[in-house]
Amino acid sequence: MKTREDVKIINQGLDGEMDEFRQWFRVRVHRMLAPGRKPFDDLDVKPRSQLANGNFGHQVCSVQDEQLPQEQQVQIQYFTHHSFRYYWNDAIQNFAFYQGLEDVKVSCAHIHAEHSRGLTKALQDYRRLFFGENEIAVRVPSLFKLLTKEVLNPFYIFQLFSVVLWTAEDYYYYATAIVFMSVISIATSLYTIRKQYVMLHDMVASHSVVRVSVCRGDKDTEQAMSTELVPGDVIAIPANGMVMPCDAVLFQGTCVVNESMLTGESVPVTKTSLPSSGDEAARRYSMEEHKRHTLFCGTDVIQTRFYAGELVKAVVIRTGFSTEKGQLVRCILHPKPTDFRLYRDAYLFLLCLVGVAGIGFVYTIVLSIMNKVPAKTIIIESLDIITITIPPALPAAMTAGIVYAQRRLKRVGIFCISPQRINMCGQLNLVCFDKTGTLTEDGLDLWGIHRAEHGSFVAPEPGPAEERLVKSAFVACMATCHSLTKIEGELSGDPLDLKMFASTGWVLEEPTEEETALHNPLMPTVVRPPKRAITGDGQSQSQVQNMSCELGIVRQFPFSSVLQRMSVVVRRLGDKHMEAFLKGAPEVVAGLCKPHSVPQSFTETLESYTRQGFRVIALAHRQLESKLSWHKVQTLSRDLIETNMEFLGLIVMQNKIKQETAGVLTELRRANIRTLMVTGDNMLTAVSVARDCGMVRPHENVIVADAAPPRDSLPPCITWRYVDKPAQTASDDQTAQILVEEEMYHFALNGRAFAVITEHFPQLIQKLALRATVFARMAPDQKTQLVEVLQGIDYIVGMCGDGANDCGALKRAHSGISLSELEASVASPFTSSTSNISCVPNLIREGRAALITSFCVFKFMALYSIIQYISVILLYWILSNLGDFQFLFIDLVIILIIAFTMSLNPAWKDLVRQRPPSSLISGPLLCSVLTQILTCLAFQVLAFYLVQQQSWYETWTPQSDACNVSRPSSFSDRRNGTTSHDHKNIRNYENTSLFYVSSFQYLAVAIVFSKGKPFRQPSYKNWPFMLSCVGLYSFLLFIMLYPISAIDNFLEIVCVPHDWRVALVIVVAANAVVSFMLEILIVDIILWRLVFRGSQGANGPRESSSGDTPQVANDSWGALFLSRLFCRRNKPPKVLYRHLALELQDDANWPPKPSTVTYAAEAQPHISATL
């Protein structure tokens, strides 16, 4: 049974990521027959071999089940869009997308109870109807399909129209040149697109299809291809590991996994089984919340740990494009459309050119009818005006600047996979930075330890390796509470854990596969002090001591970014009872300890360390009941273990700021580019690092917004707390005094406060984002949300991170730059080979240069079209036109050479405060283009008029010899007409004069528009461009002043007197001078510096005007006068963040006063009573 119908569906009605596109699309809806309506319905279906799988492509499947009559089957409508399948849902009366086992909303305990036995073959086949084959299929389109899609581009259709028209006019050379350029452009584009598809296909297909062991019931397993897997299947993970073909949750055993493909983090991660009892088991399974128990598609399982005779098992959660890897590939295949103002304005500008072409079209028809021109000629010449007005080489010329910028970026170690975003980098006005590995060094150094005994701190100690501390619980916690593992004999794991364990000097030993098989219980990982080389009687004593200090790690609860802690259960050799050790954020650990064990000076001590920029980790310990057995411990929830702990003390780690950080942040601040820190570290540590690197200056206040969710009858609230400033030095006093009046302040939020404020204080989140500089304890998804908030108030946001937890934010930002070169960076538009943030100003400089180049090239190509349009319109008046080889010389020799060489200007060495324009439809740019158009029009009309007033002027014939004519021509001969010798009337004095003048005009506007400082290097340093201009100027002057008959015949130029040639030189020189003066005086000085200067920046505080020089004061008066003249004095800001800044300037209650509270119940954000 097969039926099809066309429907039009809006994305807003669909679930998933496509909502953000807000685009209409047309799809073909299919229908299929199935035993049930939903994939997780309980069906009583007997096994059979011919149950169809639905063929995940566009073909419709029909289920013919001999056990289930056709009339008992249901008809389901579905369609496929962007690699996802959507099925009609009667309950919501819309199409819905089935993601996987999470759709059932099962708890962790339910997965153990109901989904640990696997699926029958029939049920597996049924679910495959809905989920399709488990593969991430990146199909490489055929060259024919790519060619068809590329050629159907409106631009190439227009080019085809132009070529047909030029062929009809016998302009074979120019048509051939355009066809050659188009073929090269299409071939290059096809090669690039196909190469990207092939690379992505190879990356995905390398581990896409593997053989897996599928469990049927408790004991039965069978080998199957990974493409057959569906959500709910149970697979066995082999002991030697595998590359995961799906997303699955581990419910039996332990795995060590390399997740670098997804996270960019090459550190192996330990995955433990899903909790089966306790409060945590009662929670609903969430892939994000339970990612420490989830094996993601594409990640590499390195090792497994298991009970003897039992398999390491996992339940399949998602398959195909629904997996984490599948969604990453889908983002690459179907990226979010780039909405950049430059490209939108370019289309508007082209529409204006189409309007100008329409005027010329009508003018040509009317003029031709008045002169009784044949109909064929009227059609060809009127259509020719359209091809002249819209330049065919515009896209190639615009792309050249981006390609050159991409090559320059590559030379400085920045690699780009999305060249269109280079222009966007030129508009960045805010950059978010990760802290660890980005602003600071990746590794941590142990500064010291601060132990606690009997509820009080002892003196700080340099390290734990002293002999007297070997048997202490503090050192035992450092030696066991980690997720380290040995891979090929080398310790691997989190750098912090590695540094902490190395400081103890202890040794880690893991059981071999043979040792594990000999014991019923899980063989533990053992840590022990190193064997000391003691001779004589001391040797046995040392061995006894080492044996008594050996610790076996029985159970591990991995670190959770949500819980901000990890713990282990260990057993000391010879002891009957077990112990629990806890490590995590100091605030969290202290809250899980007995109050009497936490020193009273805990808060003061912690703040003293974090203010100095140290990273602090707290340790705790607890002795468990002796009745607990090994097997019992394996089923306990961590909530029962991590309670009533004894506080042991603090580990103080030093995270040094990278050498380049402070200088780069200073450079960005001087360029009026705002900087933020987004980190998962402690709040006070983050604030300290922000001060040390210059993101927050010493004299500036930091206001911590500490938000609390609703509790009992209390509404959610925000407590505003001012962080103490460090002591100011004498050199800072003057600077602080100057800026006190400006009330410089920064907000600081942690992840918990960000979540509460986003949910309960939506009216405050944008106000806080306007001044917030430090975001601490932020989860990966919160970083992405922050980028979206900043984009919501019209910031152009950049994100710089090391790729570990920043992938989402890197993808969401306008410009994301990863400092990691691992596979995760495939999601980031830019990747730097240097591991510091010096790449950020380099990228912004190149972006600004590329953006200005795009503006310059677009303006030049627009002027080229208009200049040629003016020439043709004037020549149409006398029923003439430019010759075929004149068009060829202008378009190929002048325009292409200039357009491709004027894009070679490198970026300016300094990052200036002024930002380039973001729009082509802006005052200065429009004034620049219009003044040049009027100038070119005036001088072409002047040349056209003056040549007809010359005494030697007559109707040109092959016998004319104006170079030697001394008699004046009669008035009756002063009108050109068509002749039998030149039926197109190309050769005449007007044509020759306009050809010379317009050729020089192309060069003049190219030099005028090719600007250098402050965004690009001066044009005189662009030697290909200068060489081209000098060469073309010299050639044109030479053939104009010293005519060569061969060149004149080729270009269809007629001989004119030498005096007129000199006059043309004067006209051309005057034209160039006027063009330069108008551009410099009106556009650069009056408009940019005085009228539109106020629109640049406004990101940071207003600079003090107390030290203004007389020149600055004069500029201010000039700006005031011209702003009023142009009606811009009280014009509201266009971007939302400036509008918010103006509003907050008049708010007397902002920023909030210290130690005050804001409640969500209040109608307006009003500050309540002081604490």
Active site residues: 434
DSSP state of 1084: I
Give which of 851, 829, 830 is closest to 908, Cα–Cα: 851
- SS3 for 220? strand
- Residue 1076's CB is within 10 A of a number of other CB atoms, namely 13
Distance in angstroms (rounded) separating the CA atoms of residues 1145 and 360: 52
Q: Structure tokens of 610?
A: 């974090």
Side chain identity, residue 1017: Q
End-to-end alpha carbon distance in the chain: 73
Distance in angstroms (rounded) separating the CA atoms of residues 291 and 582: 20
Give which of 792, 774, 762, 657 is closest to 705, Cα–Cα: 774
Distance in angstroms (rounded) separating the CA atoms of residues 1062 and 1060: 5
Edge-to-edge order in the sheet of strand 745-750: 414-416, 830-832, 815-818, 797-801, 430-433, 674-678, 772-776, 745-750, 701-708, 717-723, 1156-1159
Distance in angstroms (rounded) separating the CA atoms of residues 520 and 926: 81
Distance in angstroms (rounded) separating the CA atoms of residues 1051 and 995: 10
Output the CA angle 72-74-79, nearest 5 degrees.
160
Distance in angstroms (rounded) separating the CA atoms of residues 128 and 228: 8
- Residue 1116's CB is within 10 A of a number of other CB atoms, namely 14
DSSP state of 970: P
Instruction: Give the DSSP letter string of 109-168.
Output: HHHHHHSSS---HHHHHHHHHHH--S--------HHHHHHHHHTSHHHHHHHHHHHHHHH
Distance in angstroms (rounded) separating the CA atoms of residues 16 and 25: 15
**Whose structure tokens read 């010449």?**
381
Distance in angstroms (rounded) separating the CA atoms of residues 379 and 375: 6
Give which of 897, 893, 891, 883 is closest to 864, Cα–Cα: 891
Q: Structure tokens of 556?
A: 């591990």
Give which of 854, 784, 82 is closest to 405, Cα–Cα: 854
- SS3 for 745? strand
**Which residues have a Cβ under 8 Å from the Cβ of 799 and sit 6 or more positions away?**
431, 432, 783, 787, 806, 809, 810, 812, 813, 815, 816, 817
Distance in angstroms (rounded) separating the CA atoms of residues 969 and 957: 14
| Residues 127 and 317 sit within 8 Å (Cβ to Cβ) | no
Distances (CA, A) of 449 to 462, 478, 649, 664: 6, 11, 8, 33
Distance in angstroms (rounded) separating the CA atoms of residues 943 and 270: 81
Give which of 201, 389, 417, 475 is closest to 867, Cα–Cα: 389
Q: 227-237: string of b/e by CB count within 10 Å (b at 16+)?
A: bbbbbbbbbbb
